[in-house]
Structure 1
């Protein structure tokens, strides 16, 4: 009841009471509509909204309760920020210079279940039913934070890719020249050893020169992995085979002689699926991981090499995000001192090493692993702690069947029978090396210094095979040279021989019909085998 009148009443007073009643009704309806609109707006917003006085909750919208997992009965009248926010956030709010408007600022909020999540808070003073109060808008910024983290991660990944690309360009630009230099250091000692008697006084020293050249060539090959896209031969292989071959290799015996107290064991899955891979690069990755593990392992420690199959139906987060798919994995686990948390994000960077300078390695060992895995469309994971480090390499499996391995001729059976070979190389010393090796193998040899000369030579002469350098300056490269040659002689056989070639060049050469590729520096045996396989 709003008002009353006593009989008898004054008609004028009646009119006044009626006017006030109508006005009161209109105000009440207006207030009700305003409150209704406020509730609708508060429900429509993505933010949690609370009205409080001296920290005690007076009113909140549905989103607030849903955001934090409480019911209205659990929160009304409580010291709301003591429940929802960390103490550091509350102190920060009280230290704001403007008492009427606080924020926006980010804070850490607590749900009823104890989980924490990032929020953005804005606070403003209002008049609430005739008294001063505060209204706070709280927004969950988890998705924003995740988006920002993804953006920063993407920016870092892009920066890393650009850095690797720059290093790759540098590596590719010098690799061809370095491998040409290594060819002489390896090949001439090898030819000397073939001619010298077994008891020659300096035979050991000549072998040391040759072996030093081979080690230098291996460093160049490691450097070439930075280019991400050099030509490599892939074939269907089983990781078990690569592990077994390594355990029976010279590299393994040398490692065991350096670390006789370390126990190295392998556990291979007999049902392991095949992968399509570059045998050389995957084996090199295994060697690098085991070498690192041996250096990190404690005295009397252990290294376990494991293979297996693993399938992921959704993305898996680890050292990097692993995409769904079927994989064959190669794992190397040691019980060493582990990798420091600060170092872990950088271990695959070129030349990032905590080893004593000059002790071992080139600083590219793990970079080789990283690039090899990703060049094969795979992923890797690293787990490290006080109990050691575990590297797991994931390679996509293949359903292709392994090709029949060609019968590799021995040096005794790979001699030529007077076949004519044309050597095409822009470097005189490389032509001389090839001429000497081919003559020793029993071939007739002709040589030219450019692709253009090779095309003119083939127009006038017939040869059984062309040894063709890929990168020749100035002038046309190996692919274009061969393309012009087969216009005149469609069945002409050729072998690419180069210190550095991109995968695109190698793929083009294969499409043109060239099947064999020899990497400089090469040995007499490698050259002889490739020639016999191609000619026969």
Structure 2
């Protein structure tokens, strides 16, 4: 059916069948032919048997002919059916069939071809096929038609054609040679509309070009492998990374060159499985090492894209890769850095913290330790406010805000913190800010500088002491000389006045005058003692004292009355604890201390106001403001507060400096008051704190160690007969004439036999030829040798010589050295008759 000859035969048989005569017509034609032929000459001579046999043969032949006719009719019917089927196949075939003459004219076309070209079959006949071929592609048609008729070889080609409505389409033509019914050469053409295929092919080409462009220009490395794993393309980035040039590796086996030996077969098997489409989804992305030209391993993350032909067969794979080597190294370095940070942080000697939105997001163990918390407690939604002393919170909050907003990058400052126990500490911050998880993060390191602050304070205190010592060096020398001289004068005054109190009868009004002179002498001696205290050359006369009684006695003095009278608008009140403990101290110095504080308080009030003197017992177990260390225990607390103008903060550090005063000279201001107060408190092993607010007032709080001992006033006064002499000889050695005279009178009154000399040299000469049961030896005598040198020379005369040391100066190393040599007690000038009498009596009784 596929050749032209067969088609021609079918057409001839079809025509014969159409012109076949009916049986009657055939009979008539046969008879006519028979009549035209002559009968045999011997027909009459034919025997009956021959006739019978001939008739039988004719009958057989007739039957044979009838059978042949029947077979012929069946064949004709089959031929008609086959022709109908062929015509159906030809006309209704899904492809277009066209028969073209040698001159290029369309002889026949099936229905599909007519529909494709947009014309009825009748309109296609005798039309040149080139009418439907685009001019630019007609040469393709002529060339293939020429080769067909010249060689007879089938031709297959593609060109662009146009329909009646001028719609262009791509066609695939398969041409074969044939002959028509007359034997003339014709061309059988099969037309297929391949427009969609061609468009898909063009799209594929564009896609491939686009992919190739992307591969060439992508910042990633790119390669293409064929289905056998041969390299068919590499981009510039791949060449730069690996060190290989494209011409060196194109066509080479990818696995042999680039895949490390230990994983080569594994990767090759994965590739083969993908090519067989057994596991394409599972390996669209993949990571593996490759070996570059210098032998270094690089870890690559691949994204694989498969290319398939129109039949869906994988023809190559394109791989885009990202070099993870540096990232992995960076991640490893980051992990190492994090580990180092963690180790440094956890074992750091400084606190490390991070704050986000005011809440701690990280703290190390040292930070938690500084404040006495656990790390878990710090990270349990703790706000930094919780760790900051309230008065410093505004400063810290502002520093945190500036870093969080990027206003500043780094800070260095300090503030006071609060530990979990409530203890106050000093910390120092070195801070900065970073972005963490997209959020501004305030971070920094923290040092607990509490001990350093204490050391700095101690250093400042020492520097201030040194400064004061240097500033008062001249004052000290002057005060020492003045005190010595004044004490000698006061010694005469107090000595004679005390003798008057002894000798004047009790009912004589002059006795009260003598008593007042004695008391004034004692207070004058206390003033001298203040000078010596100020220069740290004073004697600490300690006894059990009642602070409440000292305050009561002060209020009863004329000086206090004068102070109150001078400030009538100021009310002075007392709030004294009834069960107040005693302290060990000097009542005279304590009274002076209270008076100085009350005097300052009263004079600080302009117009009306109040001054409150308060005492209480208190147990102290933590630091007192203004003091770095404090001994735990019971304290008597004395508070003097006023509602005056207050002390400016800038002045608070200066108030204890000698000669510092804001008072006018006409109002008792000498500048020594608070310096003496501080010195007295320190001499009593106490602490002092001052709190002041401008416009509201000032409060001084003094802490004195308490004692459970009874006060001296509660003990019986020593009767005079217990310290009077029994005729023992006393040698008074003093360079001041008046002091020698009053001493001689006092000791004579006590029942001693008294002699006096004016120098150490005279004492040595006297003792060479005379004896004395005891010496009353002045330590400082001018000119000549002092008390120590005198005593040394006396010991050469009498190694057992007893002596009592007296001086208007503070107790010195030289007086203590004399005591080590055997001298007795030290008695401060001016001395009272009871004090010196007991000292002499005790020394005489000492064995």
TM-score (norm 2): 0.47
The 1:171–1:219 alpha-carbon spacing in structure 2 relative to 1, beyond 3 Å, is farther
Partner Cα separation in structure 1 for residue 769 and residue 629 of structure 2: 57
3-state SS of 1:228 partner:
coil
| Corresponding residue for residue 444 of structure 2 | 139
1:215, CA displacement in angstroms? 7.6
| Corresponding residue for residue 518 of structure 1 | 828
Q: Indicate whether 1:243 and 2:551 are aligned.
A: yes
Q: Indicate whether 1:449 and 2:761 are aligned.
A: no
| Corresponding residue for residue 343 of structure 2 | 44
1:487, CA displacement in angstroms? 8.0
Q: Cα deviations across residues 88-122 of structure 1 (Å, max 9, x unaligned)?
A: 897774xxxxxxxx87x52689x9xxxx9753257
Report if the CA contact (8 A) 1:186-1:211 is conserved.
no
Report if the CA contact (8 A) 1:307-1:331 is conserved.
yes
| Corresponding residue for residue 106 of structure 1 | 412
**Among 464, 481, 484, which residue is 1:160 paired with?**
464
Partner Cα separation in structure 2 for residue 490 and residue 108 of structure 1: 65
3-state SS of 2:666 partner:
coil
| Corresponding residue for residue 14 of structure 1 | 254
Partner Cα separation in structure 1 for residue 775 and residue 258 of structure 2: 116
1:165, CA displacement in angstroms? 3.0
| Corresponding residue for residue 87 of structure 1 | 402
User: Comparing 253-262 with 234-243, which one deviates more in the overlay?
Assistant: 253-262
The 1:501–1:481 alpha-carbon spacing in structure 2 relative to 1, beyond 3 Å, is farther
Q: Cα deviations across residues 398-455 of structure 1 (Å, max 9, x unaligned)?
A: 3555567463568x99998976432212345543554566678886542223345435
1:491, CA displacement in angstroms? 7.8
Report if the CA contact (8 A) 2:685-2:705 is conserved.
yes
**Structure index of larger Rg:** 2
The 5-angstrom pairing of residues 370-389 of structure 1 reads: 370-385=678-693, 386-389=695-698
User: Comparing 291-300 with 352-361, which one deviates more in the overlay?
Assistant: 291-300
| Corresponding residue for residue 270 of structure 1 | 578
Partner Cα separation in structure 2 for residue 184 and residue 49 of structure 1: 68
| Corresponding residue for residue 647 of structure 2 | 339
Partner Cα separation in structure 1 for residue 633 and residue 815 of structure 2: 28
The 1:494–1:413 alpha-carbon spacing in structure 2 relative to 1, beyond 3 Å, is same
1:390, CA displacement in angstroms? 1.5
Partner Cα separation in structure 2 for residue 496 and residue 449 of structure 1: 15
The 1:227–1:332 alpha-carbon spacing in structure 2 relative to 1, beyond 3 Å, is same
1:276, CA displacement in angstroms? 1.9
1:383, CA displacement in angstroms? 1.6
Report if the CA contact (8 A) 1:222-1:365 is conserved.
no
Q: Indicate whether 1:318 and 2:625 are aligned.
A: yes
| Corresponding residue for residue 354 of structure 1 | 662
Report if the CA contact (8 A) 2:620-2:633 is conserved.
yes
Runs (5+) with no aligned partner, structure 1: 51-55, 75-81, 94-101, 195-206
The 1:335–1:400 alpha-carbon spacing in structure 2 relative to 1, beyond 3 Å, is closer
Report if the CA contact (8 A) 2:406-2:433 is conserved.
no
Report if the CA contact (8 A) 1:333-1:388 is conserved.
no
Tell me the matched-pair count: 483
1:468, CA displacement in angstroms? 2.0
3-state SS of 1:339 partner:
coil
1:529, CA displacement in angstroms? 6.3
Partner Cα separation in structure 2 for residue 493 and residue 422 of structure 1: 11
3-state SS of 1:321 partner:
coil
Partner Cα separation in structure 2 for residue 383 and residue 418 of structure 1: 59
Partner Cα separation in structure 1 for residue 443 and residue 723 of structure 2: 80
The 1:257–1:409 alpha-carbon spacing in structure 2 relative to 1, beyond 3 Å, is farther
The 1:61–1:417 alpha-carbon spacing in structure 2 relative to 1, beyond 3 Å, is closer
CA RMSD, aligned part only? 5.1
Q: Indicate whether 1:256 and 2:564 are aligned.
A: yes
| Corresponding residue for residue 806 of structure 2 | 497
The 1:501–1:272 alpha-carbon spacing in structure 2 relative to 1, beyond 3 Å, is same
| Corresponding residue for residue 511 of structure 2 | none
The 5-angstrom pairing of residues 287-298 of structure 1 reads: 287-298=595-606
Partner Cα separation in structure 2 for residue 325 and residue 48 of structure 1: 34
3-state SS of 2:588 partner:
helix
Partner Cα separation in structure 2 for residue 401 and residue 421 of structure 1: 35
Report if the CA contact (8 A) 1:381-1:393 is conserved.
yes
Report if the CA contact (8 A) 1:330-1:394 is conserved.
yes
Partner Cα separation in structure 2 for residue 343 and residue 288 of structure 1: 18
The 1:362–1:441 alpha-carbon spacing in structure 2 relative to 1, beyond 3 Å, is farther
**Among 398, 411, 420, which residue is 2:707 paired with?**
398
TM-score (norm 1): 0.71
1:251, CA displacement in angstroms? 3.5
The 1:253–1:409 alpha-carbon spacing in structure 2 relative to 1, beyond 3 Å, is farther
- Greater RCO, 1 or 2 (C-alpha within 8 Å, sep 6+): 1
**Among 333, 337, 340, which residue is 1:34 paired with?**
333
Report if the CA contact (8 A) 1:121-1:138 is conserved.
yes
| Corresponding residue for residue 134 of structure 2 | none
1:352, CA displacement in angstroms? 0.9
1:210, CA displacement in angstroms? 11
Partner Cα separation in structure 1 for residue 660 and residue 602 of structure 2: 18
3-state SS of 2:805 partner:
strand
